[in-house]
Chain A
Amino acid sequence: EVQLQQSGPELRRPGSSVKLSCKASGYSITDYLMHWVKHRPEHGLEWIGWIDPEDGETKYAQKFQSKATLTADTSSNTAYMQLSSLTSEDTATYFCARHDGTYYYHDYWGQGVMVTVSS
């Protein structure tokens, strides 16, 4: 059974950084691209970017270019997203979601991780 298990909720101070994890099971992460999506109830869903775990290639939405860094560890079948220089605007739930390069949709999503940025 395919599962994407994300790490637990995070509380951070403004200006700090956080690294979120997304552990895949039931398939090899090198077989799919991994995307990250931001959700704030008043803003809906925002696409952050994707990583190809097979070769580390990444692509980001322009507004997240200097905010997010996507990496992957194939030995642990885990994808990561680091968010830097946190502000209150980064308070949100973050999802990882996989994408088959043949079918253009996200068929499996992680459960989401809540990041709260507060002093």
Chain B
Amino acid sequence: DIVMTQGALPNPVPSGESASITCQSSKSLLYSDGKTYLNWYLQRPGQSPQLLIYWMSTRASGVSDRFSGSGSGTDFTLKISRVEAEDVGVYYCQQFLEFPLTFGSGTKLEIK
């Protein structure tokens, strides 16, 4: 199985500052079609996960441009610019390259 490892944030993050969340996969998620099968989700307290980014860097419909994804085949970063109160929650990376699908352990974002 592909292991996804997420980094922690130096919480709380001051409102208006930027925050970067890292995720590393045990296998390259770059496929022969040129796409990298890495997704990012946000799970706000008491809610279901919400898709933020797919194919490593493509923002999902309706997602603020304050969210951006980048990386290589195995190392990924989700950057949140100008954090706001509504960004609070747990962020998960997910690999969709092969089954079983696997998620990172989650990174909690708190705002000051």
Contacts and interface: CB of A to CB of B under 8 A. Distances in A.
Contacts of A39: 43
B48 A104 contact: no
Nearest to A59: B99
B49 A105 contact: no
Interface residues of A, number: 21
Contacts of A103: 54
Interface in B57-112: 60, 90, 92, 94, 96, 99-106
24 contacts: A44-B90, A44-B105, A44-B106, A45-B49, A45-B92, A45-B94, A61-B99, A95-B48, A95-B49, A97-B49, A104-B37, A104-B39, A104-B54, A104-B55, A105-B51, A105-B54, A105-B60, A105-B96, A106-B49, A106-B51, A107-B51, A109-B50, A111-B47, A111-B48
B111 to A, nearest CB: 19
Interface residues of B, number: 24
Q: Tell me if A's interface is mostly helix, strand, loop or mixed.
A: strand
A105 B39 contact: yes
A46 B103 contact: yes
A112 B48 CA distance: 7
Contacts of B96: 104-105
B90 to A, nearest CB: 8
B75 to A, nearest CB: 19
Contact of A47 (B43, B50, B54, B103): B103
A110 interface: yes
A45 B99 contact: no
